Structure 1
Amino acid sequence: MLENLMAWLTGNLSPSARIWTALAPAILACVYFLGGLLLFSIRCAFKGIPRDEETLKRGSTVLVGFFLRHYFFWVIQPLWTVILRSGLPANALSMLSGLLGISAGVALAAGRFALGGWLFLFAGILDVMDGRIARTRKEANPAGAALDSVLDRYVDSAMLMGLAWYYRDTWVLLPALMALLGSSLVPYVRAKGEGLGVSVRDGAMQRLERVLFLGAGTALSPILEAVFWPEEKHPMHWLAVVGLVFVAVMSNYTAITRFRALVRTLAPKRQEARSEKAILGFNAVAGAVATLADFALVLVLVEWLGMLPAWATVVGATLGAVVNYSINRVLTFKSRGAVARQMARYAVVSGTSALLNAGGVALLTLHPQLAYTLVWWLVRGVVYFAWNLPLQRDYVFNDSASDSLMEQRPHAA
């Protein structure tokens, strides 16, 4: 018995012990939560879903809907009652949640995924309760809210830093860092919006979802590793990898959608000739037609007229630029601004776009593990959406901005 205890404390576990350290808490949790789900469903069938006012205020997501959220707060009611009657201050629960969450990161860095996952999940449950305890006792105050929010960032960061340390010599380090970035930006955009008087709470990957996917994935991952790869000294923990990649993608997507909604709300309203989807479609068509015209002219100049390919490429690129400009002016943006000014601005945007594309590809290809074809498309996509399209819309073909500029210029006497 003592040997088993020492092995568990030191992490020197056999494959079967690794399975049970992950499975034993899972069995207890599954019995409680699945039994609770059955009772909750029966209760809902006869009396309807018990509505939790805070849950209704916070809203739901695609990943965790209202039914599951109401069920979760219903099933943890016994633990909630015990903590409420214990008299523990809400700030003490916040601190305990923070300590458990940071401990989860330390455990994960050491490769103890079962321990780290369960610590992170329990920290998440306590984090849900602290604010409710304060509001129920009418003790809620800005200091407590600030403490809770800051500790949440420490817990999320510690969890992902632990995973990043464990996967530091593998490709999983990149998703871990991306998840750390996204998990930091999601609450930051919300806080920034609230500071500016705009509510941005939407998004599929909020904190509850991050806790569930990261916590469950890491806590249960040793089971698969012990069954399929029992001799691995540094197992990949594939279930944790799947959860981590999913959180990395969805948290950044949530942050971007929130940021986009915030900017749209705060930006000055402008009259659009057509929807953004139509603009994007026509702009893409203009690029495709311009590319075909460029390629066709190069073929004619080289194959029929015997021009050197380098010079033919210059002439073809010039034609492509003129075709692209013309289609965007007439069809995409329906602009009536001065052609000379627009052409000059279009040349500036095209030139800087070429430099950004070349520089981005050059930087990313410094990492030989990245395929240059993937790098090319990635850089093109980022530069197009972050530079080309916005500048063509707001700088090159923005007739209202040009008119305002003309009105601001002093007129000759």
Structure 2
Amino acid sequence: MLDTVVSWILGDLSPSARIWTALAPAIFACGYFIIGLLLFLVRCAIKGVPQDEETLKRGSTVLVGMFLRHYFFWVIQPLYALIYRSGLPANALSMLSGLLGVSSGVAVAAGRFAMGGWLFLAAGILDVMDGRIARVRKEANPAGAALDSVLDRYVDSAMLMGLAWYYRDNWVLLPVLVAFLGTSLVPYVRARGEGLGINIRGGAMQRLERVLFLGVGVALSPIIEAIWFPEQKHPMHWLAVVGLVFVAVMSNVTALSRFRALVAALAPPKPARKRSSSAILGFNAAAGAIATGIDFAAVLAMVKWLDFSPVLATALGCVLGGVVNYSINRVITFRSRGAVAPQLARYALVSATSALLNAGGVALFTLHPQLAYTLGWWLARGAVYFAWNLPLQRDYVFNDPPEALLERPHAA
């Protein structure tokens, strides 16, 4: 038995070893949390849900609701009490969390996903406890808070750097880098907001969710690989890939939502519009789709029935599509009453620069032959639309002067 344990520590990655190194901690943890859940439900039935004050202050997210948060902090009370009675300083817990988190990245880089995942989860649990212990002991101070925040960034970065090294020759490197971006921006936007006097805490993928989804996915992924791909020397660890992609997408969604909330809170008030942002987005996208359809139909008609050359038909179709797009946006999307001539000039400028940006974006994507040009086309179109076309049409092309807004009946 001792020889088996030693061989696992030294790197025995046989199928059975991969299963048991991943499953042994999971069996213990699952048993503890399942029994704890049953006791928690009994306790809730008798006395109601125990209300954890810090959980109430922090709130919940779509991914991890308030009930699960209360349950988690209730079920780890024995470990919390043990650490509290040990007298360990809160900063020591922060440092231990940092050491375990950095170790998780080293383990994952070497292909030891089970070890790395459980170390990452352990680091997350300790990170939850250090601040609580500091506040209960009245030891909380700005230096400790700064230490905790910086070490959290090191832990997150270490795990993702380990994954980046493991997947360095694989397409999974891209979602690793996207996750790195998102997990860096989520706390940064919050910190930037606090520096400007704005409290920004919303979003579905906060640190608890990142640790949970990424840690569990990495820790349990060797089981799937050992069952389905036992002969692979460098397995994909598909469960970890799924968790990683999910964290990559949701962390960036969270970062963008926080960024939008921060900008909205800091921006000066604008004249009220008759449509909400979501309505403007919907009508604007519909106007683009209708204009594109008319453009395409006109080109077909001119080439087939009027015997125009495809080049001339395409040019005339673009002009016709632009006029249709402008007209729908002016009348329906933005309900503008500004002067037509200046608007058309601004619209032509935005359209011309949009065409250049789209062409340049597609050209850049074609530098990567492994990427389908159609995907590059859509990526470029989406980026230019949301970063250039939509905001400029809303705030520049159809941004009526105040006197035009006052003329609108029921502008609200």
TM-score, normalisation: structure 2: 0.94
Contact 1:7/1:13 (<8 A) preserved:
no
How do residues 68-147 of structure 1 correspond to structure 2 at under 5 angstroms?
68-147=68-147
Q: Secondary structure at the match of 1:111?
A: coil
Per-residue CA distance 1:349-403 (angstroms, 9 max, x = gap) = 0011001111111111222222222221222122111110110010011013798
Q: Structure 1: any 5+ residue segments left out of the alignment?
A: 405-413
Q: Cα deviation per residue 1:163-195 (whole Å; 9 max; x = unaligned)? A: 111111111111111111111111111111222
Corresponding residue for 1:37?
A: 37
Is structure 2 residue 62 aligned with structure 1 residue 62?
yes
Alpha-carbon distance between aligned partners in 2 of 1:146 and 1:288, rounded to the nearest angstrom? 50
Letter in 2 for 1:394: D
Q: What corresponds to 1:185 in structure 2?
A: 185
Superimposed CA distance per residue, residues 198-232 of structure 1 (whole angstroms, 9 cap, x where no aligned partner)? 22211111111111111111111111211222111
Query: Once superposed, which parts of structure 1, at least 4 consecutive aligned residues long, lie more than 4 Å away?
Result: 401-404
Aligned partner letter, 2:350? V
**Equivalent runs, 1:145-224 vs 2, <5 Å:** 145-224=145-224
Q: Is the 8 A contact 1:22 1:222 kept in 2?
A: yes
Residue matched to 1:358: 359
**SS of the residue aligned with 1:399?**
coil
Residue equivalent to 2:285: 284
1:246 corresponds to: 246
Q: Which residue of 2 aligns with 1:11?
A: 11
Correspondence for 1:410: none
Report if the CA contact (8 A) 2:62-2:204 is conserved: yes
Other-structure match for 2:300:
299
For the residue of structure 2 that corresponds to 1:236, the secondary structure is coil
Asked if residue 397 in structure 1 is aligned to residue 398 in structure 2, the reply is: yes
Q: Would the aligned equivalents of 2:338 and 2:401 in 1 still touch at CA under 8 Å?
A: no
Q: CA deviation at 1:289?
A: 2.9
1:345 maps to 2:346: yes
Contact map agreement 1:337 1:402 (CA 8 A) in 2: no
Q: 2: distance between equivalents of 1:215 and 1:284? A: 39
Give % identity: 78
What displacement does 1:285 show?
Answer: 2.9
Q: Read off the aligned partner of 2:344 and give its amino acid letter.
A: M
Deviation of 1:303 after TM superposition, in Å, equals: 2.5
Change (3 A) 1:6 1:275: same
Q: How far does the alpha carbon of each residue in 1:256-305 deviate from its partner, in whole angstroms, 9 at most, with x for none?
A: 11111222222222211212232223222322332233233323432233
Q: Secondary structure at the match of 2:401?
A: helix
Q: Which residue of 2 aligns with 1:370?
A: 371
Q: CA 1:289–1:18 in 2, change beyond 3 Å: closer, same or farther?
A: closer
Structure 1 stretch displaced more, 142-151 or 64-73: 64-73
Partner Cα separation in structure 2 for residue 266 and residue 239 of structure 1: 40
Query: Once the 2 structures are TM-superposed, how far is the Cα of residue 57 of structure 1 from its aligned partner?
Result: 0.2
- Deviation larger for 312-321 or 135-144: 312-321
Q: Which moved more, 1:303-312 or 1:110-119?
A: 303-312
Gaps of 5+ in 2: 406-412
Residue in structure 1 matched with residue 409 of structure 2 by the alignment: none
Counterpart in 1 of 2:275? 274
How many residue pairs are counted as aligned between the two chains? 404
SS in 1 for 2:307: coil
Secondary structure in structure 1 of the residue aligned to 2:241: helix
Distance 1:307 1:14 in 2: 69
Which of 63-72 and 369-378 deviates more?
A: 369-378
Decide whether the 8 Å contact of 2:337 with 2:404 is kept in 1. no
With 118-127 and 12-21 compared, the bigger mean Cα shift is at: 12-21
Q: Give, in whole Å, the separation in 1 of the partners of 2:133 and 2:366.
A: 52
Please state how far the C-alpha of 1:91 moved relative to its aligned partner. 0.7
Give the match for residue 389 of structure 2. 388
Task: State the SS of the aligned residue for 1:306.
Answer: coil
Please say which of residues 21-30 and 191-200 is displaced more in the overlay: 191-200
Distance apart, 1:17 and its partner CA: 1.8
Letter in 2 for 1:142: P
Q: Which amino acid counterpart does residue 69 of structure 1 have in structure 2?
A: R
| Residues 322 and 14 (structure 1), Cα distance of their counterparts in 2 relative to 1, 3 Å cut | closer
Code of the aligned partner of 1:106: V
